[in-house]
Amino acid sequence: MRPILSIALCLTCLGSTVPAASSDVRDTESPDAIVKALYDVISGPAGAKRDWDRMRSLFSEEAKMVAIGRKPDGSSVRRVLTLEDYVKLAGPALESRGFFEKEIARRTESFGNMVQVWTTYESRIAKDDAKPFERGINSLQLWNDGKRWWILGIVWQGESANLTLPAKYLKGGSR
82-103 pLDDT tens trace: 999 999 999 999 999 999 999 9
Please tell me which residue, 59 or 22, carries the higher pLDDT value. 59
Q: How far apart are CA 136 and CA 163, in angstroms?
A: 10
Give the whole-number percent of the chain exceeding pLDDT 90. 78
Instruction: Specify the CATH number for the domain of residue 88.
Output: 3.10.450.50
What 3-state DSSP class applies to 138?
A: strand
pLDDT of residue 20: 46
pLDDT of residue 173: 61
Please tell me which residue, 173 or 40, carries the higher pLDDT value. 40
Helix H or strand E encompassing 117: strand 114-124
In-domain check, residue 13: no
In-domain check, residue 4: no
In-domain check, residue 10: no
pLDDT of residue 13: 42
In-domain check, residue 175: no
In-domain check, residue 115: yes
Torsion of CA 126, 128, 129, 130, to 10 degrees: 170
Please tell me which residue, 53 or 73, carries the higher pLDDT value. 53
Domain count, the chain: 1
Q: Which domain holds residue 26?
A: 22-161
pLDDT in tens, 6-57: 444 444 344 444 444 445 899 999 999 999 999 999 999 999 999 999 999 9
In-domain check, residue 123: yes
pLDDT of residue 171: 85
Please tell me which residue, 20 or 108, carries the higher pLDDT value. 108
pLDDT of residue 23: 59
- Burial class of residue 28, CB neighbours in 10 A (0-12, 13-18, 19+): buried
Confidence class for position 126, pLDDT limits 50, 70, 90: very high
In-domain check, residue 113: yes
In-domain check, residue 141: yes
